[in-house]
Structure 1
């Protein structure tokens, strides 16, 4: 069966135009140019159809977004569509609306939103044209039909408590759109609420999108979903979508979602762009998590797009978290969101006791207080697991010379290289910003002293010291280094769940979403590093991070305990943690932000510039800042905005590129959007003059 319909050549199209009408199509292409591109076709092409078109000397896959009555330029200049790709149905109208909104709100060309959202095979010309095309990627995928796995055995769902029941019924019974904030303490059974609500939606014949912030959270939830789906008679109708999949796996998940074969789609942030024709419910778990914000290309918030998509589809969306973002909490406080609270743990187990260890007058042993070491020993004797949380991978943050003060500096960045121990003589210094690696020098490069010492501690060094303290304990480390290989994270977590690990050392990868059955103690090292960060969101992130990791303790064992080592026990973040008082922390944090006019009481955009010289980047930003003054008639809403002075980034140089930023702020979102639309169009010409790379980010999370 043909997968594409050839379009006549320009000469043929001209000759045929006398006998048959010409159809005009407006196409979105993944090119760094604003606007859409007009082509012609001998046949009608509905919006949402993918096509192959000539673009300069290249051929590109594009998406038809409109069929105008006449082209926007001289018809004689219009080229014909090369092929119509009909191996998939046209992208649905609601998908086109979502992409259009994202392009408009985040100030990106429509093609730079649509095409990257597609699986790789659906946007590559080589997948359809050439010797190896073999009919296109979808036909090849269907030929390699994946054998059905062993069906999951249905379980008996646990009985919900009164709080869970009220929340699940409210979600399942919601008619039309509403954003529901599900605020539940760690271990309160938010997942069961999701599953019960999803079952009700599935019973109506509709689809469910369940989003999680990180890949490593999918395996445990995937198994729970498969078991529960088997119980409601929809069997293996689950698809999983995240960036760790191969191109073929992602294409299969996408097509199953678009065809309606997948009744539930479990995915990370990219799943928000999956076509789901029968979508009836969206769930965003750990809605506060920064991983929902894309940090390159289209810098979108998947959580915010989920809210918009639910409103557009007139369906409910659930935002779940033990520590909601202050933006979401404020929406609930002002009545824009419904809020349901799960104040008690689902099982009859109390929240863990949180203890602050004041380290100012203590002699620490490799970063461990006597109190923490004693507690670890007691848990080992009791046969319980313990978790040491340290959000810093590697062996040590920096290597230094005690004689002359030399430190291991990255030659390409204004950052230190981190010491990583790889065994034997394979120790390396690695930059976590640009990836630069070098062997550890035998002597100081400046003075020749061979007594180089590591400063500070990373997860590798903590793991090493725990092995010295407790030589009989089974220790595992879970961080970005130990889980590089595909499937390695799932294998390590499986060992923990199987009871084959006594002491677990981990970064943020272990802090949220995991239900460890035998974990009795959590110890937190180096939490103070985030207390005095320049970013105004740092206290919120620290509170959420510590509350989440504390919630791993004592979920199924009595007497769960959390020990946080700090030099600043009087800080409000720690005092709120002692009381498990998210609401008090949120009220205090919102009052602070309102007093100084920060989000959610203001709206922001961040213009970032990159150049070989810092002066060039700053010069571009200074010129950009002057545009509203030089062309006041083009910026009628500029008076409602504040444009701050250009400044270098905290880490100025990355990979020999200097970086600077300019913040734009307003308490009026429509005024900011109107300004950005005009401003971003003008910035392209200014950037050419300065020869800089630039990016405009709306609603930035890190400043």
Structure 2
């Protein structure tokens, strides 16, 4: 059996028990001086024990818990194999932390705790009328096996398609379960509320549960057990939910499937979207990927016939997509934060009782403090990054290692008292708008209200829900926020969205940066004008404003016409010419050490070993280089890119290389850690 808490143990560990244990049984076993949770696993073959070795017995079988089924075991085994991890590490990631701490008696009490009776009533939302496009899409999902890429414009009603498809699956089979994945926790409450309104009246209060890192350990265990035992018919969660035990899985939904948050960036680096596709195929479940701006990998898969594309180009109730206005900052004064035309447009919205969203994907007041005398900058002492100026706290804070310090009263190097704040953050935009709109009144005669929503304002318990409630009830006139407010939310009074400084992404060395910027801006634009009745009542037109130094850029031109297919066509042509995914397949090998030299020496040695492998044919190994963020928390980081013409060629090479990497690691003790990242999303 694998012991999840000791994932560095790469092979199976053997124990004895007086009765044969089915694979998937959860047990407690001794390991060293401790007793830990493990999962009984089907061994490929029974190896003979070395002379004198005596196996230790299983300490306890948690037989109150049904064994984890064969489909779940296959999912874990595939994830471990594909992402080059041990099975134990994937199990450790998949199971709720609280489960690892329970004895059999404690688990039995939880499973048999008195539950509220399941009261089912008539579905209150059955009367929701589908549009013609939604009807057509739902029919195709019902008639074909999929997987499906639901390409629907923002506000086209993709969520209603999810609800309808899940309802059909649950009605057809009393044991059926559905998995709904969203990219971020802040999208969970709103979507969860819709699913609860639709399904709790019919199936009872335990029918819909959530799984995400924002839950307490007790909540996560409770929800996981409900899914594993079949009590929960629908599990809605972030990427961790893709590894949940769902014995009755019949339909999988991946909302905003393009979002990079579906790729785990620490520990076992799996892609929840890709595992959802594999899991759906293995279980015979329908998989629906939904997005207004699909990932180029998914778009290309449709072109290759591997996914079935379903289009919903129209917004519900004939609501119009926002008109896109490009503001050329080259024609504005150098210090311009908000162009006069944009300020005027926001002012008009406030005076009519409408809401505006200002998007800047950078929190804090300013990215860096700078001394004009000597050139000092607020660099982080532990990272290759600046410490960000947070004016409200009067602190400098590193967003990578969390190191912070008080803002100096003068330059630490030369004593100059005039330290300048360079660049803008959401905190600064909120302050600037409050100043420039201080004389603007709402229809009720009250002054305009400017709010900010980012990781700093939503970290406390209940703060996110409180801020969302204020936006929905109209208490906020202008919302300044990062990308967390740009997608998934349904703000009915929002009629204007503005991106004030999006150009930085165009200069990125990451080839995915244009795709992510286009998706972010399209998603942000989709927050405007979603309520057609409200727009008609106001006599207003939805608008998207973009302040840019490059209004002629092809990305902005495609955005101005809401032309995702044109943008995707141009990007795929560039990637094919450059030999980039999805036309090749990649993996990264990364090493962390106290010095950059030590980190790169390990990678050079690993490359030397790789060149001796027969499986190297067709695989290209790039030279080691530092990461873009070279040093984090006093650890130097380097990486080496591996490319192959096919997924199978890459996997064959990585499996052959893995043992050699472990050997090389033993010879390079200066390396703190190393890892393989298959299908990396950040280069």
TM-score with structure 1 setting the length: 0.91
For 1:698, the equivalent position in structure 2 comes to 678
Q: CA deviation at 1:57?
A: 3.2
What corresponds to 2:368 in structure 1?
398
**Are 1:458 and 2:438 an aligned pair?**
no
In structure 1, C-alpha distance between the alignment counterparts of 2:563 and 2:402, rounded to whole Å = 39
Do the aligned residues in 2 keep the contact of 1:617 with 1:658 (CA within 8 Å)? yes
Q: What does residue 314 of structure 2 align with? A: 344
Q: How much does 1:385 deviate?
A: 0.2
Partner residue, 2:136: 166
Distance 1:381 1:150, change over 3 A: farther
Shift of the 274–641 alpha-carbon distance from structure 1 to 2, 3 Å rule, reads same
Equivalent residue, structure 1, for 2:12:
36
Instruction: Give the one of 523, 535, 557 matched to 2:498.
Output: 523
Aligned residue among 467, 487, 496 for 1:512: 487
Q: CA deviation at 1:99?
A: 0.1
2:329 to 345, 359, 363: 359
| Equivalent in the alignment of 1:599 | 581
Displacement of 1:233: 5.1
Per-residue CA distance 1:299-333 (angstroms, 9 max, x = gap): 00000000000000112100000000000000101
The answer on whether the counterparts of 1:38 and 1:72 sit within 8 Å (CA) in structure 2 is no
What's the counterpart of residue 58 of structure 1?
A: 34
Deviations 1:179-212 (A, max 9, x none): 1000001000000111111111110121111111
Alpha-carbon contact 2:118-2:205 (below 8 Å) kept: no
Kindly tell me: are residues 236 and 154 of structure 1, through their superposed partners in 2, closer, same or farther at Cα, counting changes over 3 Å? Answer: farther
- The counterpart of 1:421, out of the listed 367, 370, 391, is 391
Q: Distance in 2 between matches of 1:524 and 1:138?
A: 53
Aligned residue in 2 for 1:499: 474
Offset of residue 561 of structure 1: 0.3
Supply the distance in 2 between the matched residues of 1:57 and 1:678 (Cα, whole angstroms).
35
Which sits farther off after the overlay, 549-558 or 297-306? Answer: 549-558
In the other structure, the counterpart of 1:686 is 664
**Structure 2 equivalent of residue 18 of structure 1:** none
Q: How many residues align?
A: 663
Aligned pairs (5 A) from 1:171-320: 171-174=141-144, 177-204=145-172, 205=174, 206-230=176-200, 232=202, 236-320=206-290
CA distance in 1, matches of 2:219, 2:237: 13
Alpha-carbon spacing, 1:36–1:346, altered in 2? closer, same or farther (3 Å): same
Q: Which moved more, 1:110-119 or 1:655-664?
A: 110-119
- 1-side partners of 2:170 and 2:589: how far apart? 43
Structure 1 counterpart of 2:436: 469
Which of 499, 505, 519 is the matching residue for 1:544? Answer: 519
1:507-550 deviation line (CA, Å, top 9, x unaligned):
01101011110001001111001001000000000000000001
Matched residue, 2:403: 436
Which residue of the partner structure matches residue 572 of structure 1? 554
Cα-to-partner distance string for 1:388-441 (whole Å, 9 max, x where unaligned): 00000001000111221111000001110000123xxx4000001110000000
1:627 aligns with 2:609: yes
How far 1:160 moved relative to its partner?
1.4
CA distance in 1, matches of 2:553, 2:189: 37
* Distance 1:508-1:72 versus aligned 2 partners, 3 A rule: farther
CA distance in 2, matches of 1:415, 1:147: 55
Q: Any conservation in 2 of the 1:475–1:504 contact (CA below 8 Å)?
A: yes
Moved more, 464-473 or 453-462: 464-473
1:269-320 Cα shifts (integer Å, max 9, x gaps): 1111111111110000000001100001110000000000000011210000
Deviates more, 1:151-160 or 1:253-262: 151-160
CA distance in 2, matches of 1:28, 1:523: 47
Aligned partners of 1:207 and 1:279 also within 8 Å: yes
Distance in 2 (CA, whole Å) between partners of 1:37 and 1:670 is: 29
Distance 1:62 1:233, change over 3 A: closer
Q: CA deviation at 1:229?
A: 1.2
Q: Does the 8 Å CA contact 2:242/2:276 hold for their aligned counterparts? A: yes
Q: 8 Å contact 2:2–2:87 — kept in the other structure?
A: no
Distance 1:416 1:349, change over 3 A: same
Q: Is the 8 A contact 2:118 2:204 kept in 1?
A: no
Distance across 2 between alignment mates of 1:329 and 1:483? 34
CA contact (8 A) 1:31 1:112 kept: yes
The secondary structure found in structure 2 opposite 1:515 is coil
Structure 1 stretches of 5 or more lacking a match?
A: 1-24
Could you tell me how far 1:58 is from its partner in structure 2? 3.0
Instruction: Quote the Cα distance in structure 1 between the aligned partners of 2:430 and 2:3.
Output: 55
Measure the CA separation in 2 of the matches of 1:45 and 1:379.
66
Structure 1 position 93 matched with structure 2 position 70: yes
Work out the CA distance in 1 between the residues paired with 2:643 and 2:454.
Answer: 36
Question: Which residue of structure 1 aligns with residue 124 of structure 2?
Answer: 154
Cα distance between partner residues in 2 of 1:217 and 1:188: 18
Q: Say which SS state the counterpart of residue 14 (structure 2) adopts.
A: strand
Unaligned runs of 5+ in 2: 439-446
Give the distance between the partners of 1:572 and 1:448, measured in 2 at CA.
46
Cα distance 1:673–1:429, how it changes in 2: closer, same or farther (>3 A)?
same
Q: Is the 8 A contact 1:420 1:427 kept in 2?
A: yes
Q: Please tell me whether the aligned partners of residues 28 and 65 of structure 1 are also in contact (alpha carbons under 8 angstroms).
A: no
- Output the CA distance in 2 between the equivalents of 1:179 and 1:457: 42
TM score, norm. by length of structure 2:
0.94
C-alpha distance in 1 between matches for 2:560 and 2:216 = 44
Counterparts of 1:514 and 1:149, CA distance in 2? 30
Tell me the distance in 1 between the aligned counterparts of 2:201 and 2:27. 42
- Conserved in 2, the CA contact under 8 Å of 1:604 and 1:698? yes
SS in 2 for 1:37: coil
Task: Establish whether residue 533 from structure 1 lines up as the match of residue 508 from structure 2.
Answer: yes
Match of 2:444 in 1: none
Q: Secondary structure at the match of 1:41?
A: coil
CA distance 1:233–1:35, shift in 2 (3 Å):
closer
Spell out, residue by residue over 1:574-632, the C-alpha distance to the aligned partner (whole angstroms, 9 max, x if none).
Answer: 01000100000011111111111110000000011100011000100111111123xx2
Asked if 1:671 is matched to 2:649, the reply is yes
Structure 1 Cα separation of the partners of residues 169 and 675 of structure 2? 40
CA contact (8 A) 1:512 1:548 kept: yes
Contact 1:188 1:344 in 2 (8 A): yes
